[in-house]
Structure 1
Amino acid sequence: MKKIAVMIMAAVVLAALPVAAQTAADKDECLLAAKNCANEVDNIQKKVKKLQKEIKKGDRVYTKEELDTLKRKLDEVNQLLNDLNKPGGR
């Protein structure tokens, strides 16, 4: 009986691994935490589009805290863009 229970538990854990790996691979760590950003230099418009794309992935990829971070970064980039578009700069 114990053997069967252990085998079932192992099967459940192994079945869950690809899902966990997929969501981690779907995250843009460069946008989220400035990790894995080598050779990535984006202009402001490109960064806005990337942030919007990542936010659309929602809670199937990101935690609530991570989504809040991405939304805050999008607000900051939009504010910067607005400041740059004002007559006379900032």
Structure 2
Amino acid sequence: MRKMAMMLAASLFMLSSVPAFAQTAADQRDECLLASKNCMNQVDDIQQRIRKLNREIEKGTRVYTPQELKKLQDKLKETSDILRNLERPDS
């Protein structure tokens, strides 16, 4: 009886820890950059945003899907274009 109870407790423990392991890749995502979620207290200047986007793109397909990577690359291009336009002297 004791052995059965220990096996049941061990199996319940293992089953409860599986969702925590599944969330590790999702926890590495920056939802603020990707989908403008969880951005309540984040204010970045353009150069910080470019650094963050580059860092997230470097994580590659181990964290993001190919569609999400494309979206991050598009945001990086858009942000780089904004910076370039701001740096351009008025003519």
Query: What is the distance in 2 between the residues matched to 1:68 and 1:18?
Result: 27
Q: How does 1:6-25 map to 2 (within 5 A)?
A: 14=15, 17-25=19-27
Once the 2 structures are TM-superposed, how far is the Cα of residue 16 of structure 1 from its aligned partner?
5.5
- Percent sequence identity is 47
CA RMSD of aligned residues (A): 2.1
Please name the residue that 1:55 is paired with.
Answer: 57
In the TM superposition, what are the counterparts of 1:72-87 in structure 2 within 5 Å? 72-87=74-89
TM score, norm. by length of structure 2: 0.78
Consecutive unaligned residues in structure 1, runs of 5 or more:
1-9
Q: Which residue of 2 aligns with 1:26?
A: 28
Aligned length: 79
Kindly name which structure, 1 or 2, has the bigger radius of gyration based on alpha carbons. Answer: 2
Gaps of 5+ in 2: 1-10
CA distance in 1, matches of 2:39, 2:50: 16
Instruction: Give the TM-score normalised by structure 1.
Output: 0.79
